A and B are shown apart, each in its own frame.
Chain A
């Protein structure tokens, strides 16, 4: 316990690093998954290849993906870019199917109405389909964000500083306090991400609350 109180500064720094390394890929991955999910939905023959193909990326174990990144990016092994790109790949892998299914959850009558009102495909996507798909997409994003926070800690093994560094630090010194501190900080950070997504999703779907209060 004393160790934690003495090292609050370090823990805060590592938490901030951890938050960046997991938040940036979560947002980037979502932004990439939206067009991919849309394509999978729009052209039926592409659904299986796109969804299965991106899903396969998720099977690659995290440490292996981090280590393989320099081969594709030409970066150095210690570069934090490797972690950001790898985590973005995981987010895309999880979110493409979610976006496709979320867009699919929009009732046909609604999209037909929008078309009848003269909405083009793009305007319909951004003003009708995506907003209505928010609950499904947000549910998937919660899973992706929470697992991203957990997976980023593995990057400590390739020397990128974040909360996982507390694990390796404690392990090397045979000292449990930093590990426990890291575990608690990771879980709390995941909880914060989860709450932020729930709140943003609520703000984006005011009609859901209106419906609930009736």
Chain B
């Protein structure tokens, strides 16, 4: 334990291109890029599935099936199949990002579609009854009501991506995974454990930031902080009222 602390507090480990700040920044960038791409693909598709009900079967099973595929195997396969066609750093970066996006899409998709699907029929009908068009129902009622589940989808995707980006150090990617993998290679336990603590902290902080963002963005009418369970009716009324812009 003392050695791990010594490694973590050694100023030499906090500077230069292999330093902790640079590695943390790299890890965060890989994760943000992957989750961003995944969200850009999966949220529109998920909203569409939830709104129309088309392709629901596919979304449920895709999410389930991909959970069974080990990310390490997927990573090695992508690297070995795509790597030879690419040069230099790109040969590591591109296959990794592809795998991270593939892993992040199912949870985001599942969150978006389940979020829209679980919107109370009464709220949807009320919005329609007030004369909203389909797109208005989607953007002003369904999406705001679906936000908690959309967020939980993005959060579980982010955790999955941070964990898998760590593994990607084995194929030569930068980021905090380097400490774990390089430490393993030379049996330097202090470096491995120090890196592991940093990765765990990064995951906790990212999840905490996402949770805080969620609290700010999600309507208080949905979180039950203003209305108890018994006031479900009032909650629906409030949602539709807000949706109609009053």
User: Which residues of A pack against B, CB within 8 Å?
Assistant: 56, 58-65, 67-68, 70-71, 77, 143, 146-147, 149-151, 153-154, 156-158, 163-164, 166-168, 170-171, 174, 176, 179-180, 182-183, 186-187, 190-191
Contacts and interface: CB of A to CB of B under 8 A. Distances in A.
Contacts of A62: 163
B241 interface: no
Interface stretch (B54-62, B116-124, B139-147, B189-197): B189-197
Contact of B80 (A63, A163, A174): A174
B41 to A, nearest CB: 22
B166 A64 contact: yes
A25 B79 CA distance: 31
Interface string B168-195: 0011000001001100100001001101
A157 B195 CA distance: 15
Contacts of B71: 150, 154
A71 B8 CA distance: 15
Contact of B159 (A59, A150, A170): A59
Given A157-B72, A171-B80, A71 B193 contact: yes
Contact of A183 (B65, B70, B159, B193): B70
Given A68-B197, A143-B67, A146-B67, A60 B76 contact: no
Nearest to B70: A153
B81 interface: yes
Given A157-B184, A179-B77, 13 more contacts: A56-B204, A62-B163, A63-B180, A67-B180, A67-B195, A71-B1, A71-B4, A71-B193, A154-B72, A157-B181, A164-B70, A164-B73, A186-B69
Interface of B: 1, 4, 64-65, 67-74, 76-77, 79-81, 159, 162-163, 166-167, 170-171, 177, 180-181, 184, 189, 192-193, 195-197, 199-200, 203-204, 207
A27 B163 CA distance: 24
A168 B180 CA distance: 16
A153 B76 contact: no
Judged by DSSP, the binding face of B is helix
Contacts of A158: 184
Nearest to B64: A146
Closest 9 CB pairs between A and B? A61-B163, A64-B196, A190-B68, A153-B70, A67-B196, A64-B199, A60-B200, A183-B73, A171-B76
B70 A150 contact: yes
A64 B200 contact: yes
A157 B170 contact: yes
A209 to B, nearest CB: 23
Contacts of A180: 77
Contacts of B74: 183
21 contacts: A56-B204, A59-B207, A60-B204, A61-B159, A64-B199, A64-B200, A65-B200, A67-B196, A68-B196, A149-B68, A150-B67, A153-B72, A154-B72, A156-B72, A171-B79, A171-B171, A176-B81, A179-B73, A187-B65, A190-B68, A191-B68
